[in-house]
């Protein structure tokens, strides 16, 4: 409970109607998509300007209050969970286009802009914002930047980081920093912009971002292939990517397909059932690309890797096929999954896959596992579904030792314990499998520089 005096100070900064204290608001703003922690913030504030954000941060420093920055709260690692009486600073009101510059092909937006709205704005200008993922309809740009969101087009367009040309932030000390000012070339020492990207709200609050926009792609075709085995997915990837510029190469298991079709009412891609499915997307303006895709498809069938397949014949069919992959995450919430978001180099994937498969078979004989992910960039999502009979606490306790073993395997293969979801609360105990003790120590020292009183998102990334 905040004292009346502190509530009054917050009211003075953002206006009384922008300080939310109702239990329903605290519950709503105090969690992301994870289901492990209980929301328990002391207040939610909705600032409307960078100066107001600054005032809130200065107040938090003065009174030693912790802040949890909050975007669309679609995160999957607990990075936006406020469980210890923190003030949630929600960026929802920073939802406008501030400046569009067609010559620079860039747009400056408030951090609270919804990803899909930015995509739509770019399309209206005849341009394209290529970072895309299932949560685009509710995630906010600031949160995407804070977690360096990836998604379904990374093999073609990279991560969020690759599109951020500038940032305006308030750091933990309450200073306003303008980072890189949208410049393409700027070799003037350390580029703090990149430090804030992926920092998960531990260094500062992102208030504005200047985003580069791309030229729009030509119409795309989607190919869904029924694949015979896990290793065969990599054979298919190698075959196609050697000859075609793919914009996506995703995969999912039969159990993921079963669940997404049952829960969402989507049609199966074809009658044949196969252990795994690969979803490929490529630009198909030229007929030759379609011919090439068909020839490669036949080649993969001849090799015995692919058992069936379908090529989209229209935009609506392409969209329907994409839904089979994109709706998996939403579908699985029904089972309160424990999420692993791991990556290794694609070249090291065959050995890693074999070992991780053996490990989970041994460790989870009684649990249902659902595999899917962005295998084209080395990123696997291994979801462990909670059996109904187990409490959330017991379920997480069962998953922890296996996560450690997966962490050890990732260390052996020099992979990442968090490919794209971020570390937050969920992965911080495993961070040392991917980052050296020296790196972890340097991260803590950097945190001290930008957030000397440790008021920003305490307990996230590391303790």
Residue 64, H or E segment: none
For residues 163 and 212, is the Cβ–Cβ distance under 8 A? Answer: yes
Under the binding rule (CB under 6 A), the answer on residue 134 touching ligand MLT is yes
**In Å, what is the CA distance from 179 to each residue of 184, 186, 213, 288?**
12, 11, 18, 44
Q: Tell the smallest beta-carbon distance from residue 113 to ligand MLT (Å).
A: 20
Residue closer to ligand MLT by CB (options 193, 386) is 386
Question: Contacting ligand MLT (CB under 6 A), which of 171, 247, 329, 343?
Answer: 329
Least distance in angstroms from the C-beta of 381 to ligand MLT = 4
Nearer to ligand MLT, 181 or 334 (CB): 334
Beta strand residue intervals within 228-275, DSSP E:
246-253
CB of 324 to ligand MLT, least distance (A): 12
Report the residue number, 100 or 364, with the smaller CB distance to ligand MLT.
Answer: 364
Q: Among 73, 193, 381, 398, indicate the residue that binds ligand MLT (CB under 6 A).
A: 381
Cβ-based nearer residue to ligand MLT, 381 or 428: 381
Contact present, 91 and 71 (Cβ < 8 Å): yes
Name the 3-class secondary structure at 458: coil
* 186 to 215: interface string for ligand MLT, x by CB under 6 A: ------------------------------
Residue nearest ligand MLT, Cβ-based:
329
Q: How far is CA 20 from the centre of its chain?
A: 27
Show contacts with ligand MLT in window 63-102 (CB under 6 A): 76
Touching ligand MLT, residues 25-64 (CB under 6 A): none
Report the C-alpha gap between 222 and 207 in whole angstroms. 37
Closest to ligand MLT by CB, 45 or 328: 328
Distance CA 109, CA 45 (A): 20
Region class of 219: left (phi > 0), else alpha (psi between -120 and 50), else beta: beta
User: Quick one: which of 355, 333, 332, 331 has its CA closest to 342?
Assistant: 355
* Dihedral angle sign, alpha carbons of residues 222, 236, 408, 338: positive
> In the complex with ligand MLT, which residue's Cβ is closer, 134 or 296?
134
Least Å from the CB of residue 4 to ligand MLT: 41
CB of 132 or CB of 235, closer to ligand MLT: 132
In angstroms, give the least distance from the CB of 272 to ligand MLT: 24
Q: Cβ 394 to ligand MLT, closest distance in Å?
A: 22
Closest separation between CB of residue 320 and ligand MLT, Å? 17
Which strands sit side by side in the sheet containing 87-90, from one edge to the other?
19-20, 43-45, 87-90, 67-70
Single out the residue of 75, 11, 71, 79 nearest to residue 43, CA to CA: 11
Sites of contact with ligand MLT (CB under 6 A): 76, 133-134, 328-329, 381
């Amino acid at each position: 409970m905040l004292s009346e005096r502190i509530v009054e100070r917050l009211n003075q900064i953002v206006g009384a109607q922008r300080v939310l204290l109702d239990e329903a608001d605290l519950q709503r703003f105090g969690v992301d998509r994870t289901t492990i922690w209980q929301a328990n913030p002391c207040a939610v504030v909705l600032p409307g300007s960078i100066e107001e954000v600054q005032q809130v941060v200065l107040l938090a420093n003065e009174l030693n209050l912790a802040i949890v920055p909050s975007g669309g709260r679609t995160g999957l690692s607990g990075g936006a969970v406020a469980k210890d009486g923190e003030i949630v600073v929600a960026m929802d009101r920073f939802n406008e286009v501030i400046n569009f510059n067609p010559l620079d092909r860039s747009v400056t937006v408030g951090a609270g802009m919804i990803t899909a709205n930015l995509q739509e704005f770019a399309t209206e200008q005849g341009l394209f914002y290529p970072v895309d993922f299932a949560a685009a309809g509710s995630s906010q740009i600031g949160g995407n930047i804070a977690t360096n969101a990836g998604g379904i087009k990374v093999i073609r367009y990279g991560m969020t980081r690759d599109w951020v040309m500038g940032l305006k932030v308030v750091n933990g000390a309450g200073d306003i920093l303008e980072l890189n000012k949208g410049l393409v070339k700027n070799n003037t020492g350390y580029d703090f912009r990149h430090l804030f990207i992926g920092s998960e709200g531990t260094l500062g609050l992102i208030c504005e971002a200047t985003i580069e926009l791309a030229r729009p792609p030509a119409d795309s075709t989607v190919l869904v292939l029924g694949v015979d085995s896990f290793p065969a997915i990599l054979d298919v990837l190698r075959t196609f990517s050697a000859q075609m510029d793919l914009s996506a190469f995703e995969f999912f298991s039969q159990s993921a397909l079963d669940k997404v079709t049952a829960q969402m009412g989507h049609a199966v891609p074809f009658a044949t059932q196969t252990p795994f499915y690969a979803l490929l997307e490529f630009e198909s303006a030229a007929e030759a690309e379609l011919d090439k895709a068909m020839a490669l498809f036949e080649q993969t069938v001849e090799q015995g890797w692919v058992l069936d397949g379908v090529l989209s014949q229209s935009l609506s069919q392409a969209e329907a096929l994409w839904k089979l992959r994109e709706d998996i995450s939403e579908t699985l919430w029904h089972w309160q999954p424990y999420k692993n978001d791991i990556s290794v180099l694609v070249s090291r994937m065959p050995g890693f896959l074999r070992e991780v498969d053996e490990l989970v078979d041994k460790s989870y004989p009684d649990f249902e596992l659902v595999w899917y992910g962005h295998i084209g960039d080395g990123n696997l999502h291994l979801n462990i579904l909670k059996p109904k009979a187990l409490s959330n606490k017991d379920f997480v306790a069962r998953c922890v030792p296996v996560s450690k073993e997966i962490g050890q395997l990732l260390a052996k293969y020099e992979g990442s314990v968090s490919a794209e979801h971020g570390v937050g609360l969920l992965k911080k105990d495993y961070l040392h499998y991917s980052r050296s003790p020296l790196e972890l120590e340097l991260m803590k020292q950097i945190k001290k520089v930008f957030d000397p009183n440790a008021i920003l998102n305490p307990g996230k990334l590391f303790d």
